[in-house]
Amino acid sequence: MRGVAVRLTAMVFAPPDRIVTDRLVIRRESADDAAVVADAIDRNRTRLLPWMSWATGEAAEVSTQVARIAGASEQWDAGDMFDYSIFDLVDGSFMGKIGLHRRIGPHGIELGYWLDAEAEGRGVMTEATTALMKVALELDEIDRVEIHCDEANLRSQAVPRRVGFALDRIENRPIAAASETGRHMVWVYQPDCR
């Protein structure tokens, strides 16, 4: 009787809880992170609000962050969203947030981010995006990572450009935050199509 080779491939439904890069620890949040995230939102509200309408005084309250992190944890377990905080590998300080969202249709996942002002301009988000993009592409049935940003958000669009994403299209969308133009850029990284 001839042997039959069976190749078992592990299904990967969620990325790792903790990703370490040269300078960063990118870690799934727990309730213990609520205070540090609330404090960072409070200090960065005027920078974030032009692009992120959720960055209000209410979002800067610890109780809001406790509730958000609990909801994000449920979404993680359901495989809908994987939300991380970014910390300095050396001193453990909070640097910002990055996440993956399954909300762009089959085989795709959207990556979003923001940084604390202290962490801006040092390549932190380029490093975090490069790492998270790689683990996203190892997820089952994901072959495309997208980054969405408004055309006026020059710092945000520079991140996918630097990492090697291609600008796929610009769509007209309702303006969702004060500095947006409504011209919504969709940057795509899709290894098989490059």
Ligand X SMILES: CC(C)(COP(=O)(O)OP(=O)(O)OC[C@H]1O[C@@H](n2cnc3c(N)ncnc32)[C@H](O)[C@@H]1OP(=O)(O)O)[C@@H](O)C(=O)NCCC(=O)NCCS
Positions in the binding site for ligand X (CB under 6 A): 47-48, 51-52, 113-115, 120-126, 149, 153, 155-156, 159
CB of 125 to ligand X, least distance (A): 3
CB of 101 to ligand X, least distance (A): 12
Tell me the residue number closest to ligand X, measured at CB. 123
Coil/strand/helix, residue 4: coil
CB of 106 to ligand X, least distance (A): 23
Residue 43 or residue 70: which is nearer to ligand X going by CB? 43
Helix (H) or strand (E) holding 48: helix 34-48
CB of 25 to ligand X, least distance (A): 15
Residue 122 or residue 134: which is nearer to ligand X going by CB? 122
Contact 83, 97 (CB under 8 A): yes
What Å distances lie between residue 183 and 27, 101, 125, 145, 179, CA to CA?
Answer: 32, 21, 22, 20, 11
Report the distance separating Cα 29 and Cα 98, nearest Å: 11
Structure tokens, 47: 């920078």
Residue 69 or residue 115: which is nearer to ligand X going by CB? 115
Residue 56 or residue 153: which is nearer to ligand X going by CB? 153
CB of 72 to ligand X, least distance (A): 17
Coil/strand/helix, residue 70: helix
Residue 51 or residue 76: which is nearer to ligand X going by CB? 51
Cβ neighbours for 101, distance < 8 A, ≥ 6 positions apart: 80, 81, 109, 110, 111, 112
